[in-house]
């Protein structure tokens, strides 16, 4: 056979065939390895190239032997190709699109002159466990080994510049989901839909029909009837070019709808964009597994040469794409599929030189290579050699039991049929039909499928008595011939490698798989698992049933990362003041779901403005909870470590919550607004957790308490007005509350009207360390109040400040931030909260641990200042002692514009925690700098004169 790489002439295209799927009226042009080729619409990349005389599509993973077509389906291990910037495209499945640029993978420098094929000569050094044995010692060479292994690794090229495709997700709730659109799947779908069920019928190929598509005239008639019945039924939704990739608990079924150039984004994604892939998450009432059977390759010398292919491959090529797979053929057959291949080949003018019938003792020994490594002759068991360029094998079937395994079944080996059958341990909502369930005539299979479909629709249960069954036909057990050959075509694992591995002691199938990597390549065992099991059982003298198989886990086929990621559905939250922030150059800060202004260009200037005049910051994302009921004080006493019983109306208190393990969970302030009415603030990130924590106590431990919790975080817009002139500013907009220091002292709350908006809460608290008021206004008035504040305070020098300035000021003031200055191990005592914890309270969350913490010596949170004021250690820098002793870490670090020096908070070992101690901070650049432990957390105004003013 001539392997023409350049010719665009369709040398192997047959005259029109009855069942062909190509549209001869629609010619396309694409390129292969830089040369232009023609195809028809409906051609796969591989069928179009075969028609043009190309026979080699890749080279083997390890030995770089040339590889051609084996199965002519998506599983074909030799047909992984690079299409544009997309690697590992299944070339025997993907259809040609106009202008496609296709290249071979794993070849260097080219498909025809592959340097690494020299591996064939050193093949005996690349046996089982080769990588483990060769690249282990000495360790100092590991970086060099990595380079070697990378060069040998298979796979295509990924590009960092690929345009973002549009990937979609969908949820579906079919009553019955049918996996597999062959005759059984179609019949089951129709029967289920006839019974009133909503049916999702999923087929991996581009059309329904399964093996009927490459069948004879009778089968084509049956195909037309079944397709018409499916098409006519409004209760059936058909997904083609789609794969059921997994079945999970309660029939949660993942379906990958593959790239389809005809499907648009449906209004989602960039305008007019095509859906690359769509992941359908289906909750199916019943799952009908009808994947049919996969034809199994035969293991013998030379079985991976181009020109050796399965009977289904030959029949698909002839009947679906009208491609002549060779000129002179030998057919090795053990069943009706092989016999039909003989008929098909003869019909289209292939010279069938010899039919070797396994049922009469025939066997093939070796496929002898010719030019370019392709098959040139076959040596038979009787010693004869037959010249040929095509060797077709039909030695039996593998049951693709993935969905059964994923459903909890353990398929059983049936020696009479030489394949695995369902093991009878399926859940009641999972049904099996078609070839995977048993054998029969087309009529028998369809009848079985109809009964199964009806039972699935009715929810009768797959284990119900009287469930329909299929018989099983005898089939010769043919796995490996009398010579060694390739078992795993993806990973280049031969039967010789497996025998060697068994001799080395890797004699269980799971161990052998991991040691040799057999079945771990792109086809994931669908072609080779049973052959691997058979070779192992022969080597160990056990039966196939005793040897067992590896477990088939999801996904059934590879799923792209794009499909996994899908459409971004993560909500994004903005405060009502966002339009103003955007118009004033706010730099966004992502804080969980919230987008907040980090600063407006100059955070240091924002700090100075607050310290000297007045600033306002949007603190809407603060968690806010409205608490009502007579038992609120009890709840506060239970959740916070400090006391709440005596908080008068109008008072505000700071509180810290600990979990039951004594670890700091959240902090915030709570105000007593009115009789039985409190208002709690939490950290932004803790809002949901705290609410959940409260509900936990109220619903499970204290159901008799009368407390109602309402989350109001987004019902109010919140603004902190901070700075020496904040009282004057708020006073200009609020006329019904006395703001004077005696009427409205520090740590108090009032309700009043601001900028004409009634029902606003005002708290006098001070995270920044300045005189400040935190106001909560109905969210719809947030922007109005914000802009009113800026207008009213123009002459006072008011300006907005962002999160960065606030973080600097709270650090100057020594206020810690839960989850920045604490982590999942920070005990209240270590955070310096002993003064707050009231152990004389009866009971509260975490109390026992807090009692036991007394006297324990934890790392303590302290204020720190680098001796060199100009060095600002990055956060997370370690505090060390000696060479490698880690004795603490920096949790917060900034340059203070107020003090003109670096300031930090950090944890240090207890013996280093006393004021005046000098510790060593290790910077990421390996420099070690001294820093002094301070007396207070606060670097600025530790007495709090400013905020109490």
Partner 1 sequence: MIRIPCPFCGPRNSNEFAYKGESKRRPDPATATAEEWRAYLYDHDNPEGWVREGWYHRAGCRRYLKVERHTLTNEVRSAEPAVGA
Strand pairing partners for 278?
A: 168, 257
Residue with tokens 């603490």: 888
In the bound complex, what is the minimum distance in angstroms from residue 347's beta carbon to partner 1? 50
In the bound complex, what is the minimum distance in angstroms from residue 694's beta carbon to partner 1? 11
**CA gap 587, 679 in Å, rounded:** 31
CA 381 from centroid of its chain's CA atoms: 50
**CA gap 826, 620 in Å, rounded:** 27
Residue with tokens 């949901």: 688
Is 221 or 715 the residue whose CB approaches partner 1 more closely?
Answer: 715
Among 108, 125, 142, 248, binds partner 1 (CB under 8 A): 248
Is 324 or 827 the residue whose CB approaches partner 1 more closely?
Answer: 827
351-357 and 328-333 beta bridge pairing:
parallel
Tell me the per-residue interface mask from 692 to 731 with partner 1, x by CB under 8 A, - otherwise. x--xx--xxx-x----------------------------
364-369 and 275-283 beta bridge pairing:
unpaired
| Tokens at 631, concatenated | 């038992």
Q: Which residues contact 863 (CB under 8 A, 6 or more apart)?
A: 814, 903, 904, 905, 933, 934, 935, 936, 937, 938, 939
Contact stretch for partner 1 (CB under 8 A) within 174-182, 464-472, 590-598, 842-850: 842-850
In the bound complex, what is the minimum distance in angstroms from residue 714's beta carbon to partner 1? 16
Give the chain's end-to-end CA distance (angstroms, integer). Answer: 96
Does residue 794 touch partner 1 according to CB under 8 A?
A: no
Is 173 or 416 the residue whose CB approaches partner 1 more closely?
Answer: 173
**Helical H runs in 697-820?**
726-733, 782-792, 803-813
**CA gap 479, 500 in Å, rounded:** 18
Among 90, 93, 672, 847, binds partner 1 (CB under 8 A): 847
Is 286 or 341 the residue whose CB approaches partner 1 more closely?
Answer: 286
**CA gap 703, 236 in Å, rounded:** 49
Is 248 or 268 the residue whose CB approaches partner 1 more closely?
Answer: 248
Does residue 848 touch partner 1 according to CB under 8 A?
A: yes
Residue with tokens 């079924």: 253
| Tokens at 319, concatenated | 């009947």
**CA gap 232, 2 in Å, rounded:** 47
In the bound complex, what is the minimum distance in angstroms from residue 174's beta carbon to partner 1? 16
In order of 35, 580, 751, 778, 810, the CA distances from 714 in angstroms are 61, 18, 18, 9, 24
Contact stretch for partner 1 (CB under 8 A) within 64-72, 690-698, 872-880, 907-915: 690-698
**CA gap 777, 794 in Å, rounded:** 21
Is 145 or 697 the residue whose CB approaches partner 1 more closely?
Answer: 697
In the bound complex, what is the minimum distance in angstroms from residue 717's beta carbon to partner 1? 24
Contact stretch for partner 1 (CB under 8 A) within 34-42, 77-85, 203-211, 844-852: 844-852
In order of 49, 106, 314, 701, the CA distances from 40 in angstroms are 11, 27, 19, 71
**CA gap 836, 842 in Å, rounded:** 15
Is 665 or 919 the residue whose CB approaches partner 1 more closely?
Answer: 665
Is 660 or 674 the residue whose CB approaches partner 1 more closely?
Answer: 660
Residues in the interface with partner 1 (CB under 8 A) total: 21
In the bound complex, what is the minimum distance in angstroms from residue 696's beta carbon to partner 1? 6
Does residue 23 touch partner 1 according to CB under 8 A?
A: no
**CA gap 614, 842 in Å, rounded:** 43
In the bound complex, what is the minimum distance in angstroms from residue 123's beta carbon to partner 1? 46
Is 142 or 252 the residue whose CB approaches partner 1 more closely?
Answer: 252
In the bound complex, what is the minimum distance in angstroms from residue 699's beta carbon to partner 1? 4
Tell me the per-residue interface mask from 259 to 288 with partner 1, x by CB under 8 A, - otherwise. ------------------------x-----
Contact stretch for partner 1 (CB under 8 A) within 34-42, 524-532, 688-696, 910-918: 688-696
In the bound complex, what is the minimum distance in angstroms from residue 849's beta carbon to partner 1? 7
| Tokens at 848, concatenated | 């026992």
In the bound complex, what is the minimum distance in angstroms from residue 254's beta carbon to partner 1? 10
Is 197 or 253 the residue whose CB approaches partner 1 more closely?
Answer: 253
Query: Is the Cβ–Cβ distance between 322 and 17 less than 8 Å?
Result: yes
Among 18, 351, 473, 660, binds partner 1 (CB under 8 A): 660
- Burial class of residue 147 (count of CB atoms within 10 Å of its CB; 0-12, 13-18, 19+): exposed
Tell me the per-residue interface mask from 849 to 878 with partner 1, x by CB under 8 A, - otherwise. x--x--------------------------
Among 23, 101, 146, 250, binds partner 1 (CB under 8 A): 250
Does residue 626 touch partner 1 according to CB under 8 A?
A: no
Q: Which residues contact 320 (CB under 8 A, 6 or more apart)?
A: 17, 19, 20, 21, 22, 47, 213, 214
Is 699 or 870 the residue whose CB approaches partner 1 more closely?
Answer: 699
Which among 156, 168, 43 is positioned nearest to 103, based on CA atoms?
Answer: 156
Phi, psi of 402 (to 5 degrees): -45, -50
Does residue 661 touch partner 1 according to CB under 8 A?
A: yes
Contact stretch for partner 1 (CB under 8 A) within 554-562, 581-589, 846-854, 897-905: 846-854
Is 266 or 408 the residue whose CB approaches partner 1 more closely?
Answer: 408
**Helical H runs in 373-528?**
402-406, 442-458, 495-503, 509-516
**CA gap 916, 862 in Å, rounded:** 11
Is 225 or 250 the residue whose CB approaches partner 1 more closely?
Answer: 250
In the bound complex, what is the minimum distance in angstroms from residue 661's beta carbon to partner 1? 6
Is 149 or 851 the residue whose CB approaches partner 1 more closely?
Answer: 851
Is 692 or 925 the residue whose CB approaches partner 1 more closely?
Answer: 692
Binding to partner 1 in span 398-427, by CB under 8 A: 408
| Tokens at 597, concatenated | 């202004």
In the bound complex, what is the minimum distance in angstroms from residue 459's beta carbon to partner 1? 15
Which among 736, 464, 767, 746 is positioned nearest to 615, based on CA atoms?
Answer: 767
In the bound complex, what is the minimum distance in angstroms from residue 821's beta carbon to partner 1? 24
Phi, psi of 631 (to 5 degrees): -100, 10
Among 124, 147, 163, 249, binds partner 1 (CB under 8 A): 249
Among 794, 840, 843, 883, binds partner 1 (CB under 8 A): 843
List residues near partner 1 by CB under 8 A: 248-250, 252, 283, 408, 660-661, 692, 695-696, 699-701, 703, 842-843, 847-849, 852
């Amino acid at each position: 056979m001539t392997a023409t790489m350049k010719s665009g002439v369709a040398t192997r295209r047959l005259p029109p065939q009855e069942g062909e799927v190509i549209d001869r009226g629609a010619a396309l042009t694409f390129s292969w390895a830089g040369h232009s080729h023609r195809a028809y619409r409906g051609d796969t990349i591989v069928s179009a190239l075969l028609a043009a005389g190309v026979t080699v599509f890749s080279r083997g993973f390890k030995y770089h032997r040339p590889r051609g077509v084996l199965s002519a389906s998506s599983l074909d291990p030799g047909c992984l190709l690079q299409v544009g910037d997309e690697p590992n495209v299944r070339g025997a499945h993907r259809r040609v699109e106009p202008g496609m640029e296709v290249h071979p993978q794993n070849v260097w420098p080219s498909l025809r002159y592959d340097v690494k094929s020299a591996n064939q000569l050193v093949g005996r050094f690349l046996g089982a466990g080769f990588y483990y044995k060769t690249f282990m010692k000495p360790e100092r060479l590991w970086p060099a080994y990595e380079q070697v292994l990378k060069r040998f690794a298979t796979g295509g090229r990924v590009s960092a510049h690929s345009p973002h495709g549009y990937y979609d997700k969908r949820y579906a709730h079919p009553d019955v989901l049918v996996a597999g659109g062959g005759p059984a799947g179609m019949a089951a779908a129709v029967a289920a839909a006839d019974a009133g069920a909503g049916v999702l019928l999923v087929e991996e190929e581009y059309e329904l029909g399964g093996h009927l598509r490459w069948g004879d005239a009778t089968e084509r008639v049956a195909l037309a009837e079944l397709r018409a019945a499916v098409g006519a039924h409004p209760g059936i939704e058909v997904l083609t070019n789609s794969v059921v990739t997994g079945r999970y608990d309660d029939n949660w079924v993942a379906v990958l709808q593959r790239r389809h150039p005809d499907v648009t984004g449906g209004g989602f994604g960039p305008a007019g964009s095509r859906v690359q892939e769509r992941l359908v998450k289906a909750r199916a009432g019943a799952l009908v597994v009808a994947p049919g059977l996969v034809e199994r390759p035969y293991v013998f010398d030379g079985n991976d040469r181009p020109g050796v292919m399965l009977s289904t491959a030959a029949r698909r090529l002839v009947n679906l794409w009208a491609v002549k797979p060779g000129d002179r053929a030998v057919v090795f057959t053990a069943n009706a599929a092989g016999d039909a291949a003989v008929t098909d080949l003869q019909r289209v003018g292939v010279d069938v030189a010899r039919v070797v019938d396994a049922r009469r003792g025939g066997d093939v020994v070796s496929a002898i290579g010719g030019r370019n490594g392709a098959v040139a002759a076959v040596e038979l068991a009787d010693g004869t050699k037959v010249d040929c360029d095509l060797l077709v094998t039909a030695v039996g079937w593998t049951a693709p039991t993935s969905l059964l395994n994923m459903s909890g079944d353990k398929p059983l080996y049936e020696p009479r049929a030489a394949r695995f059958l369902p093991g009878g341990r399926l859940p009641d909502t999972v049904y099996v039909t078609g070839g995977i369930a048993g054998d029969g005539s087309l009529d028998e299979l369809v009848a079985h499928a109809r009964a199964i479909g009806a039972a699935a629709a009715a929810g009768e249960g797959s284990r119900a008595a009287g469930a329909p069954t299929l018989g099983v036909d005898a089939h010769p057990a043919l796995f490996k011939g009398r010579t060694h050959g390739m078992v795993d075509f993806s990973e280049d694992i031969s039967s010789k490698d497996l025998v060697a591995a068994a001799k080395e002691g890797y004699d269980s199938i799971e161990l052998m798989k991991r040691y040799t990597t057999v079945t771990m390549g792109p086809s994931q065992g669908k072609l080779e698992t049973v052959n691997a099991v058979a070779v192992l059982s022969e080597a160990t003298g056990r039966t196939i049933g005793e040897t067992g198989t590896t477990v088939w886990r999801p996904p059934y086929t590879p799923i792209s990362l794009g499909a996994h990621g899908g459409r971004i559905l993560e909500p994004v939250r903005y405060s009502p003041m966002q339009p103003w922030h955007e118009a004033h150059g706010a730099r966004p800060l992502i804080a969980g779901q919230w987008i907040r202004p980090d600063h407006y260009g100059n955070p240091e200037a924002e700090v100075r403005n607050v310290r000297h005049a007045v600033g306002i910051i949007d603190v809407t994302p603060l968690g806010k909870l409205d608490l009502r009921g007579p038992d609120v004080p009890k709840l506060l006493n239970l959740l916070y470590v400090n006391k709440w019983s005596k908080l008068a109306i109008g008072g505000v208190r700071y509180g810290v919550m600990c979990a039951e393990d004594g670890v700091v969970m959240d902090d915030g302030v709570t105000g007593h607004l009115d009789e039985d009415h409190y208002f709690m603030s939490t950290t932004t990130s803790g809002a949901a957790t705290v609410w959940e924590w409260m509900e936990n106590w109220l619903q499970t431990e204290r159901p008799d308490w009368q407390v109602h919790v309402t989350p109001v975080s987004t019902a109010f817009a919140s603004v902190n007005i901070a700075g020496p002139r904040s009282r004057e500013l708020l006073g200009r907009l609020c006329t019904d509350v006395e703001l004077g220091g005696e009427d409205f002292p520090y740590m108090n709350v009032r309700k009043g009207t601001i900028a004409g908006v009634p029902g606003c809460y005002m708290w006098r608290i001070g995270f920044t360390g300045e005189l400040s008021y935190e106001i909560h206004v109905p969210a719809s008035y947030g922007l109005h109040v914000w802009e009113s504040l800026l207008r009213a305070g123009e002459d006072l020098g008011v300006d907005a400040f962002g999160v960065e300035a606030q973080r600097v000021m709270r650090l100057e003031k020594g206020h810690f931030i839960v989850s920045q200055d604490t982590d999942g191990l920070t005990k209240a005592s270590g955070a310096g909260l002993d003064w707050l914890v009231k152990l004389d309270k009866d009971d509260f969350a975490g109390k026992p641990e807090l009692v036991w913490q007394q006297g324990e010596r934890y790392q303590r949170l302290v204020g720190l200042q680098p001796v060199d004021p100009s060095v600002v250690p990055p956060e997370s820098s370690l505090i060390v002692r000696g060479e490698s002793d880690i004795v603490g870490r920096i949790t917060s670090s900034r340059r203070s514009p107020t003090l003109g020096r670096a300031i930090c908070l950090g944890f240090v070992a207890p013996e280093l925690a006393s004021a005046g101690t000098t510790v060593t901070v290790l910077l990421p650049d390996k420099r070690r700098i001294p820093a002094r432990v301070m007396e207070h957390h606060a670097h600025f105004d530790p007495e709090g004169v400013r905020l109490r003013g």
